Amino acid sequence: MSTILEVTDLRKSYAGVHALDGVSFAVEAGSVTGLIGPNGSGKSTAIDCISGFQKRDGGRIVLAGNDISGQPAHHIARAGLMRTFQTVRIYERLSLRDNLAIATQQFDPATWVDEFFRTRRYRLAVDAAETRARQLVELIGLQRYYDVETGILSYGQKKLVALAAALMPHPKIVVLDEPVAGVNPSRIREIEVALAELNRAGETFLIVEHNVEFITNLCHQVIVLDQGRKLAEGTAHDIHHDPRVLEAYLGMTPEMAAAEMRGAA
Ligand SMILES: Nc1ncnc2c1ncn2[C@@H]1O[C@H](COP(=O)(O)OP(=O)(O)OP(=O)(O)O)[C@@H](O)[C@H]1O
Ligand SMILES: [Mg+2]
């Protein structure tokens, strides 16, 4: 496996609060990596700095060998790092098909001249986008809704539409901010299955999420933040058995954590 995203010594303060106090981690190509931690531990700040939606104070971010530190969000997206947001951002009056068609437009190489004259390049780009859209829609299990206005979908399904839109330009990695927050518990499994399918098809994900079961089921690697620092990293199994994590993340005392671990063993 090769590293697709490498974050080194990432730092960010807000008026004296060290939201990120030198965080380093790497994401392997083809993996699902979880970023967890208690409220205020710096998860959102980390992904905002990585995706260029916040200015970092220090640290280096390398995507597929290219230093993207300090670049604006649209450059980082073009370089191959896409993200989704905690609140859904899709075009609810448009069909799923049209949402996905729009998602490629800002990235595809065809210009308005190509479009106006319906050049071969334009037709090829449109065909490639359509093929990609159909593949993604199948992987997220929403084929039935391809030509339907996305406004009628459930909140969880809308999150899947936003995810498919992020995947349209063939990013190297997608960073997801709380993909199941606010989703009806009965539908969380659908999102989990969709992400697993997409990962099996080769997509790489970095996921910030509070739902521990979801993270445990999906992630090959989990990074735990606490107070702006990396507290632990490893497989979900390692994390579940790390007393520092139980203490920080679940608010347990070392004694409670030890008892919990005896129970889990
Ligand atoms: N815009 C801001 N201005 C001032 N302080 C901020 C700002 N954004 C975040 N912080 C502070 O930075 C720290 C990290 O916040 P962050 O939102 O990154 O945490 P988080 O891990 O995403 O938490 P949550 O799980 O609650 O979403 C917290 O102490 C928070 O209060
Ligand atoms: Mg957050």
CA of 20 to the centre of ligand 1 (A): 9
Q: DSSP strand E in the chain: where?
A: 3-14, 17-28, 32-36, 58-63, 66-67, 81-84, 173-177, 205-208, 221-226, 229-234
Q: Do the domain assignments include residue 145?
A: yes
pLDDT at 117: 66
- Among candidate residues 155, 170, 185, the one where a domain is terminated: 170
Q: Are 115 and 101 in a shared domain?
A: yes
Judge if 190 and 263 occupy the same domain. Answer: yes
Residues 260 and 177 in one domain: yes
- Is residue 54 within 8 Å of residue 80, measured between CB atoms? no
- What string of DSSP letters covers 227-256? TTEEEEEE-HHHHHT-HHHHHHHS---HHH
Q: How confident is the model at residue 263 (pLDDT cuts 50, 70, 90)?
A: low
**Per-residue pLDDT tens digits for 220-230:** 999 999 999 99
In a shared domain, residues 164 and 200: no
Same domain, 16 and 71: yes
- Residue 132: domain span: 91-170
Q: Look at the chain and report how many structural domains it folds into.
A: 2
| Boundary (domain end) residue, out of 170, 200, 227 | 170
pLDDT band at 253 (very low <50, low <70, confident <90, very high): low
Pocket test for ligand 1, best of 43, 50, 210 (most atoms within 8 A of CB): 43
Do 160 and 214 fall within a single domain?
no
What CATH number does the domain containing 224 carry? 3.40.50.300
Atom of ligand 1 nearest to the CA of 38: 25
Per-residue pLDDT, 265? 47
The verdict on 111 and 136 lying in the same domain is: yes
Of residues 86 and 23, more confidence is placed in 23
* pLDDT over 70 at 110, yes or no: no
The verdict on residue 85 lying in a domain is: no
Q: From the alpha carbon of 15, which atom of ligand 1 is closest?
A: 4
Q: What residue type is 42 in one-letter code?
A: G
Domain end (from 140, 170, 200) = 170
Say if 209 falls within a structural domain. Answer: yes
